[in-house]
Amino acid sequence: MDSMDVKVMEAVNYIKLQVGYNPEVAIILGSGLGNLAYEIQDRIELSYGEIPYFKSSTVEGHEGKLIFGTIYDKKVVAMQGRLHYYEGYSMQEITFPIRVFEMLGVTVLICTNAAGGLNPTFKPGDLMIIRDHINLSGSSPLIGKNYELFGPRFPSMKEAYNKQLISITKQVAKELGVDIKEGIYAFMTGPQYETDAEVRMLITLGANAVGMSTVPEVIVAAHAGMEVLGISCITNVAGSEGGIPTHEEVLDVASKIEQNFMSLVMDTIKQIEFDKAE
């Protein structure tokens, strides 16, 4: 069986043959937020199924494609649909694309998701910048052999979310007139939604939103030394106050705020400066 580094480089080499350039920014598009991919200029689309060792997304609202191209002259790659732990994939499998992005030269990861609101001031349709996270999955994508090619054995998660990117995004939101929240995201494996007791626990722990993704990818991106920006779309109120949540509700609310979301992400990318001397 091939080792992780061999698999990653095989996927990287395949992508390079198809695309011909290295992206600077990677964007993971969460549930109901995939239409941003169609705003990318000079698109090159690769289905997950054609890329060596990529797994296929099985969830509605996740197309399962990599979209390469440009946003405001910045070279980007977008995951139009992500992989989830609850789909039965391992932590290493769902974060495999992040390893590939690392080896392609990506230095900035923008990770988005749909999430349940825990903060009583949040309402469906709000956008929240992720300031920090709580990993309640009981696992990590870094468990197992460490490859120095990818990062150190014991990486720090102290500033997994880049303060400069947070500052840029808040300024962009102000300029766009988009009300944006900021808070802590809790990761639970799903696929079941949280019980009322779990919601009370999460609030006690200091979480402002809860979801079933993002944290594994952020851990791997931090391990790789990437600068990370996390944005949650609050699609429902978690717990008894919010009624019975459904995936259809999540997709519906995400679609209604998608324009604000797309403008925020695209204008943030426009403001990112890269060192062209490298």
pTM attached to this predicted model: 0.93
Q: What's the alpha-carbon Rg for the chain, to the nearest Å?
A: 18
Active-site residue, selected from the candidate residues 87, 194, 217, 227: 87
**What's the pLDDT score for residue 57?**
77
Is 114 annotated in the active site? yes
Q: Is 134 exposed, middle or buried (0-12, 13-18, 19+ CB in 10 A)?
A: middle
Residues 4-271, CATH architecture: 3-Layer(aba) Sandwich (3.40)
Pairing relationship of beta strands 108-117 and 41-47 according to DSSP bridges:
unpaired
CA dist., res. 76 & res. 156, Å (int): 26
Is 86 annotated in the active site? yes
Active-site residue, selected from the candidate residues 57, 119, 208, 236: 236
CA dist., res. 146 & res. 138, Å (int): 19
Reference 179, options 123, 249, 242, 253; nearest CA is 123
Active-site residue, selected from the candidate residues 35, 147, 247, 255: 247
CA dist., res. 122 & res. 58, Å (int): 29
**What's the pLDDT score for residue 62?**
52
Active-site residue, selected from the candidate residues 11, 24, 26, 31: 31
Q: Name the 3-class secondary structure at 106.
A: coil
- The residue type found at 265 is V
**What's the pLDDT score for residue 165?**
97
Is 222 annotated in the active site? no
Would you state the structure tokens that stand for residue 140, as one six-digit string? 């990590």
Is 90 annotated in the active site? no
Would you state the structure tokens that stand for residue 218, as one six-digit string? 């952020």
CA dist., res. 151 & res. 132, Å (int): 21
Is 21 annotated in the active site? no
Residues of the chain below pLDDT 70: 1, 58-62, 239-243, 245, 275-278
**Alpha-carbon separation of residue 108 from 104, 161, 220, 239 (angstroms):** 12, 11, 12, 34
Q: What is the pLDDT of residues 1-29, one digit of tens each?
A: 579 999 999 999 999 999 989 999 999 99
Active-site residue, selected from the candidate residues 78, 84, 194, 207: 84
Q: What is the pLDDT of residues 147-181, one digit of tens each?
A: 999 999 999 999 999 999 999 999 999 999 999 99
Q: How far is CA 71 from the centre of its chain?
A: 18
Q: Is the peptide bond before 191 cis (omega within 30 degrees of 0)?
A: yes
Question: Domain map of the chain by residue range?
Answer: 4-271
